[in-house]
């Protein structure tokens, strides 16, 4: 364990938990999980051509999101259904073209191999995501409650959804380095539902999600380093333990 892992864990953990709270609010929890698989072909190409994995992963995610957004605005199919289509297709293609020696790391991540540039990207993009999400949170929440009401007050719901999906793509691409393409969805889903168990207001819920995201990443990094275990699965297990504790506490208080 080194300072690069800790810095990355802090910022990615907070940003993924915070963004995840709005994904769960919008009932898009599984979108983050599906999108992580869409990143696999881009990640594989990045490994093949020896470029930064984040660039390859985000490029694949961006293309997938643009296609989904384009189709969504011309059909009545829900976002999660369209992403589900790309999820299976991308996973199949990604597994076929990912170098065998790199496949395990691509699927489950390895934050211990993080480089200085990866940490810088994690800090800058995580802060940017939180700033942008904070700026659009009221409009986004209103559009979640009622698309028609949001449109009637001048909110461009389609553009808002596109911006949100781009931010999801960024946080998924950042999370792949920590937990891999198979487990990245847990970074945005589990902290959010953990916070939902024990909070009663929107403000407390989003802050709680960010805190649980932070605890999941840092706790997983420390535990995996101490016991010399693979970081990705341990981070997810740590997050799952936090959920179980929040679930028990919510039942005691009910």
SS (H, E, C) the chain: CCHHHHHHHHHHHHHHHHHHHHHHHCCCHHHHHHHHHHCHHHHHHHHHCCCCHHHHHHHHHHHHHHHHHHHHCCCCCCHHHHHHHHHHHHHHHHHHHCCHHHHHHHHHCCHHHCCHHHHHHHHHHHHHHHHHHHHHHHHHHHHHHCHHHHHHCCCCHHHHHHHHHHHHHHHHHHHHHHHCCCCCHHHHHHHHHHHHHHCCCHHHHHHHHHHHHHHHHHHHHHHHHHHCCCHHHHHHHHHHHHHHHHHHHHHHHC
Tens-digit pLDDT profile for residues 172-230:
888 887 777 777 778 889 999 999 999 989 899 999 999 999 999 999 999 988 898 88
pLDDT recorded at residue 165? 87
Q: Which domains does the chain have, with CATH numbers?
A: 3-247 (1.10.3470.10)
Tens-digit pLDDT profile for residues 137-180:
999 999 988 888 999 998 998 889 889 989 988 988 888 877 77
217 or 70, higher pLDDT:
217
pLDDT recorded at residue 253? 66
Tens-digit pLDDT profile for residues 77-105:
666 666 667 777 877 888 888 877 677 77
pTM comes to: 0.87
């Amino acid at each position: 364990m080194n300072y690069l892992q800790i810095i990355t864990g802090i910022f990615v953990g907070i940003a993924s938990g915070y963004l995840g709270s709005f994904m769960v609010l919008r009932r898009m929890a599984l979108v983050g999980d599906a999108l992580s698989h869409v990143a696999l072909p881009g990640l594989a190409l990045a490994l093949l051509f020896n470029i930064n994995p984040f660039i390859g992963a985000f490029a694949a995610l961006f293309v997938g999101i643009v296609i989904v957004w384009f189709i969504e605005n011309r059909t009545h199919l829900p976002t999660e259904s369209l992403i589900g289509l790309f999820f299976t297709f991308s996973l199949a293609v990604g597994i076929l073209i990912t170098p065998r020696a790199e496949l395990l790391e691509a699927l489950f991540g390895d934050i211990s191999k993080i480089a200085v540039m990866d940490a810088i990207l994690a800090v800058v993009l995580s802060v940017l995501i939180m700033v942008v999400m904070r700026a659009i949170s009221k409009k986004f929440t209103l559009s979640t409650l009622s698309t028609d009401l949001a449109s009637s007050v001048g909110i461009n719901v389609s553009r808002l959804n596109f911006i949100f999906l781009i931010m999801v793509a960024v946080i998924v691409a950042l999370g792949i380095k920590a937990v891999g393409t198979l487990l990245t969805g847990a970074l945005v889903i589990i902290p959010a539902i953990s916070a939902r168990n024990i909070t009663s207001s929107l403000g407390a819920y989003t802050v709680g999600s960010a805190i649980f995201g932070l605890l999941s990443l840092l706790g997983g990094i420390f535990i995996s380093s101490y016991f010399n275990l693979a970081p990705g699965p341990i981070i997810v297990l740590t997050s799952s333990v936090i959920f179980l504790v929040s679930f028990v506490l919510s039942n005691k208080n009910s």
